Amino acid sequence: MPDKLSKAEIRKDALQDGVTAASQAVGSVTTIITTAVGDIARAVGGFATEMFEIRDAARKASQDHITEMPPPEEPEDLGPDAPGPAGAVGGSGPEQH
């Protein structure tokens, strides 16, 4: 005579299989999400590293450019009769009488 399963045992087995399937699905999704978050963090970190390197290279290039430029020349003092900024003789602009 075959063993008969009670309705309660059938329900228990069905529930057990359902919970097992659900937990495996949740575990798979969690693994996918965890891997994706890690990949995103690595990509953003790599981008940030590139930006820091670009900033440092720009600063170095700017400093190199400044150190290579000759100092500005001092204007020669040609005396009181030299043309001033407006081109007037005497350097002080138009005279008032």
Report d(CA 93, CA 5) in Å as an integer.
Answer: 117
Continuous H helices in the chain: 7-68
Q: How far is CA 74 from the centre of its chain?
A: 43
Q: At residue 50, what is the residue type?
A: E
Short-list 45, 49, 46, 68, CA closest to 57:
49
13: pLDDT strictly greater than 60: yes
H/E segment holding residue 92: none
The pLDDT score that the predictor gives to residue 67 is 72
Confidence check: pLDDT of 3 > 60: yes
Which of 41, 61, 39 has the alpha carbon at shortest distance from 49? Answer: 41
Model confidence over 38-91: pLDDT tens digits? 999 999 999 999 999 999 999 999 888 777 666 667 767 666 676 666 555 555
Question: Rounded CA gap, 24 and 32, in Å?
Answer: 12
Which residue did the predictor score with more confidence, 84 or 5?
5
Predicted confidence at residue 4, as pLDDT, reads 85
